[in-house]
Amino acid sequence: MLIAVMTALFMGLGYLVGGTGGMAIAFVVAAAMNLFSYWNADKLVLRMHHAVEVDQHSAPEYYGIVAGLAQRAGLPMPRVYVIQEDQPNAFATGRNPENAAVAATTGLLERMTPEEVAGVMAHELAHVQNRDTLIMTITATLAGAISMLGNFAFFMGGNRENNNPLGAVGLILGIIVAPIAAMIVQMAISRTREYSADRRGAEICGNPRWLASALAKLAQAAGRTVNYDAERNPATAHMFIVNPLSGQRMDNLFSTHPDTQNRIEALLALEGGHLAAAPRHAPEPVAYESGAEQAGPWARGLDRNRRPDAAPRRGPWG
């Protein structure tokens, strides 16, 4: 239904720009984009954000965390990516669990404890398990196309020979209303899926406080750090765990994410004994260091378990 709404917006904008012929062309383009997005949108999104694939050799701890969580969730091992970006954030993409990918920024991996990284990546794997990634990726592609078509309508405004049936009113609708409507659809998608992914993510990692702690840090840092790739591609904002837009653009007026504090409170409520029974397939807890007591995310990660003469720990990215 949501893909149909986005396709209808695209066709309607084509009608406003070029009349019946424009609508027909927009329909053909939308159908082709839906088909192309199904197979390739994940690659496009990863390329937009300059994500680099890593493995157990190039990023052993980060990769190991994802591998352990995927096993706990009963999911195939996704491809794992790192984005060279100071803003802490992460997202998942892919048309199904067998072709999924997860990506985290270097800012997230450098600032979070291993437990918090696990909470964030469990949230992303929950999106994969809930099949949210396909609709979110296709929507990002279509929303970007609607924005581009709106820009095209702006440049067509001075051409008296265009077939716009509504004249200046149609151009205003095309330039302003259609992109805003696309953002509202994106917002609806993300808001309805984030709470579900938070809950399932808490089940996967086994501790809702890990994700709650990470969300608190993410909310504080994301607004202070500009993610230039996200600013250039705002149609992908709803894919991230927290809104990557800094507020320097109008796009940020329409938040694609529910209030972070509400998400944290919902997670902490799960800790009171209401967390759904055990993660699927009843896996054993993920071990990050052999023989070391795991520290909660409100402390300083696992560092308190290190011997004074131990070598400095590498971050969870490798």
Supply the pLDDT for residue 137: 65
- Indicate the pTM of the whole model: 0.69
Model pLDDT for residues 184-235, shown as the tens digit of each residue:
766 666 667 888 899 999 999 999 999 999 999 998 887 677 778 877 777 6
Ligand-binding annotation for 57, yes or no, is no
Phi, psi of 51 (to 5 degrees): -75, 140
**145, 10 Cβ separation under 8 angstroms:** yes
- In 3D, which of 264, 266, 270, 273 has the Cα closest to residue 298? 264
In a domain, 310, yes or no: no
Model pLDDT for residues 237-265, shown as the tens digit of each residue:
767 888 787 644 443 444 556 778 888 88
- In 3D, which of 137, 72, 121, 104 has the Cα closest to residue 279? 72
**CA 316 to chain centroid:** 20
In a domain, 238, yes or no: yes
Calpha distance 271→29 (Å, rounded): 48
In a domain, 33, yes or no: yes
Total domain count for the chain?
1
Placement of tokens 């696992």 in the chain: 302
In a domain, 280, yes or no: no
Q: Is the dihedral of CA 101, 104, 106, 111 positive or negative?
A: negative
Supply the pLDDT for residue 168: 61
Calpha distance 34→28 (Å, rounded): 10
Domain span at residue 126 reads: 2-271
In a domain, 20, yes or no: yes
Ligand-binding annotation for 194, yes or no, is yes
Supply the pLDDT for residue 280: 40
**235, 147 Cβ separation under 8 angstroms:** yes
Ligand-binding annotation for 293, yes or no, is no
In a domain, 283, yes or no: no
H-only helix segments in the chain: 2-48, 60-73, 106-111, 114-129, 132-156, 167-172, 178-205, 208-222, 228-232, 260-270
Catalytic residue among 61, 116, 124, 203: 124
Mean pLDDT of 178-182: 69
In a domain, 256, yes or no: yes
Q: Is 271 a catalytic residue?
A: no
Q: What percent of the chain has pLDDT over 90?
A: 31
Supply the pLDDT for residue 186: 64
Q: Angle 133-68-90 (CA atoms, 0-180°, nearest 5)?
A: 40
In a domain, 109, yes or no: yes
- In 3D, which of 11, 2, 1 has the Cα closest to residue 31? 11
Supply the pLDDT for residue 33: 73
For the sheet with 79-83, list strands across it: 51-54, 79-83, 101-105, 90-93
